[in-house]
Structure 1
C-alpha cells in the first residue's frame, strides 16, 4: 500500500534522477527493479544515500503494476506533490530578463503526454515557465514527468484560474502574446518577428485556442503546411514556435555583433 504521505509517483531514469537532483525534498521513497542494470542502480543508490532517501529492490512486475504497464525503465519514486509556481514569480523573472524572455501558455491541453512534450521543449528552448488553466487541463503528474524527461521538475509550471486575465498581466509587463492557429493568414516568420519578450499560446488539437483567449492575444500566427492532414500535434506546433523565437533572438544578436 502506498504511504499516505505520498500522493504521486515519478518514474523513468531521467525523471527520477532529475527529481533527486532538483527536488529531493519531494522524494519519499524509491523502488528499483531487481533486473535493472548495475550502473543505473549504483547511480541511484549513491544519490539516494547522500540525500537519505530509502531505496528498495522489487520485482519488475511490481513496477509494472504500480505504473499500469507504463515504460518505467526499472525505477520509480514515490513523491509528495510539489507546489506549482506563482504567476507573480514568473512576472518577476520576466522583469529581470534583459531583452528576451519566453513563456508558453497551454490552453486546455488535456493529454498529459502533449503537456509533457510541450514542457520538455519549453525547457530545452529556454522558456521561463509554462502556464495552463486550473480547469480542463492536464497537470504535471507522473506521465508529464516521464514524457518531459524530467523537465517538468526543472521549469516553472503555473496553474491559473483565468488565462485571459493572466495574459493581460503579461502584456502589462511588456510581453507580446502570440497565439498559434493553423487558420491564421500570417505566418510565424512574418514581421514583426517572434523575438524579444514573448508568450506563445498553443491550444488543443480538438478545439485550438479558445475564442476568449484568442481575442486577448496581440497577434495570431500560423505554421505553413503543405500536406492534407490539416493541423499539427499541439506539442509539435509549440516546438516550432519556440524554435522560431530562439532563431529570431539569435538573429538579432548576430546582427548586433557585425
Structure 2
C-alpha cells in the first residue's frame, strides 16, 4: 500500500494546486487582444498623434519617394519617414536645402549620404535627382477597432468603406473628409484597392495621423459583421432608391460605402447594403469622385447628428 494521497473525488483528476483560482478577471481594457483594449490603444494614439501596431490589420510595404519636389512636398505635408538619402556631392539648390531643413526640424528622420550608383540601385534607375525618402510601412487597424473606438467615446460609429477605389489620392481625400466631419475611420479591402502610400498621406494633409484606416481581407464579410453589430450599411449609387437628404439611417450608427468613379459598387457589396442612396446633382454631372462623394454624405450625416 502506498502512503501517497491521490486526487479527491469530484476534482476531475486535478490536485489541489491546479484547483486554486487565478484571481478576478482583469478589465476588458487590460486583456491582450480584446476589442476594448484595441479601442483604448487607438484612443491614446489619436491623442498623441502617433501610430502603433493595430491588431490584426497588418502592415503595408515600405516605399520610396524619389525626386526633389516629391521629397520636399512629402516632408512639408508631414508624411512619416525614417530616412532621407542624399547623393554625395549633390548640387545644393533651394529644394535640397529646404528638404534638409524640414528633415532636420522633424528630428526623427535619419540623414544618410550615398553615392549616385547606390541611389540608382535603390530606385531601380528612376530619376531621383539626388534625394530619396524612405516611408515606413503603414500600420492598419482592424475593422472592429473602428467600432470599438466610437463606442469608447460614447458615439455612434460613422465609418466610410471604399469598394474598388484604386487611387491613393482619393483615399487620402476620404481620410481628410472623415476627420473633418467627426468620422471614426476608413475601411479598405486588402486587394485591388488603394493603400496608405505617401501619396495618400499627402492628400490627407496630415489627418491620417489621427484617423485610422482599417484593412479588410474581405469587404463583404466586414460589412456583414457591421450589420450584425447593429450598424446600417449605406451604399452610394447613381441609381439609388433614396436621396441622401431623406435617409434617416445617417442619424445613427452607419457605414457609408463608396465605389469607384467608373464602376461604382461591386455586385456583392451592393447586395450587402441596407440602403442604396444617390446624391442629387441638378447640374447634370454623371458622377463624383470618391473623395467628393464621401465628403457630401459625411457632411449630411454630421449635420443630422447635430
Q: Give TM-score, length-normalised by structure 1.
A: 0.75
Q: Which runs of 5+ in 2 are unaligned?
A: 1-60, 87-91, 114-118
Give yes or no for contact 1:105–1:130 (8 Å, CA) kept in 2.
Answer: yes
1:28 partnered with 2:82: yes
Count, aligned residues: 232
1:27-85 deviations in whole A, cap 9, x for unaligned? 3213687414988865542331xx363377xxxxx9xxx7x789xxxx97312212211
Q: How does 1:76-115 map to 2 (within 5 A)?
A: 77-115=133-171
- What TM-score results when the alignment is normalised by the length of structure 2? 0.64
* Structure 1: gaps of 5 or more residues: 1-5, 21-26, 57-61, 251-258
Corresponding residue for residue 138 of structure 1: 194
- Give the whole-Å Cα distance in 1 for the aligned partners of 2:263 and 2:62: 31
1:3 equivalent in structure 2: none
Q: Distance in 2 between matches of 1:241 and 1:76?
A: 38
Note the 1:15-164 alignment, pairs <5 A.
16=75, 18-19=78-79, 27-30=81-84, 34-36=93-95, 42=101, 44-48=103-107, 51=108, 53-54=110-111, 77-164=133-220
Name the larger-Rg structure.
2
Q: What is the alpha-carbon distance in structure 2 between the residues aligned to residue 247 and residue 28 of structure 1?
A: 40
C-alpha distance in 2 between matches for 1:107 and 1:175: 18
Aligned mates of 1:155, 1:82 — CA distance in 2: 13
Pair 1:180-2:230 in alignment? no
Cα gap change, 1:185/1:7 in structure 2, threshold over 3 Å: closer, same or farther?
closer
Name the Cα RMSD after superposition. Answer: 3.4
Does the CA-based 8 Å contact 1:85-1:158 persist in structure 2? yes
C-alpha spacing 1:142/1:101, structure 2 compared with 1 (3 Å): same
What secondary structure, in the 3-state scheme, does the structure 1 residue paired with 2:225 have? helix
Tell me the distance in 2 between the aligned counterparts of 1:19 and 1:117: 15
1:80-139 residue CA offsets vs partner (Å, 9 max, x unmatched): 212211223223213324233211100010122222211221222222111111122111
Structure 1: distance between partners of 2:153 and 2:297:
20
Greater relative contact order, per chain length (Cα 8 Å cut-off, separation 6+): 1
Q: Secondary structure at the match of 2:160?
A: strand
> Following TM superposition, by how much is the alpha carbon of 1:8 offset from its aligned partner in structure 2, in angstroms?
1.2
- For residues 178-198 of structure 1, the C-alpha deviation after alignment (integer angstroms, 9 at most, x for no partner) is 111121131101041512221
- Of 214-223 and 141-150, more deviation after overlay is shown by 141-150
Distance of 2:109 and 2:135 partners within structure 1? 14
Q: Cα–Cα, structure 1 residues 95 and 223, in superposed 2: closer, same or farther, change >3 Å?
A: same
For residues 187-237 of structure 1, give each alpha carbon's deviation from its aligned partner in whole angstroms, at most 9, with x where no partner exists.
101041512221111000111111211111111111101133311122111
What is the CA–CA distance in structure 2 between the aligned matches of 1:34 and 1:76, rounded to whole Å? 15
CA distance 1:169–1:207, change in 2 (3 Å): same
Aligned to 2:300: 244
Query: CA 1:90 to 1:45, structure 2 compared with 1: closer, same or farther past 3 Å?
Result: same
CA gap 1:13/1:130 in 2 versus in 1, 3 angstroms = farther
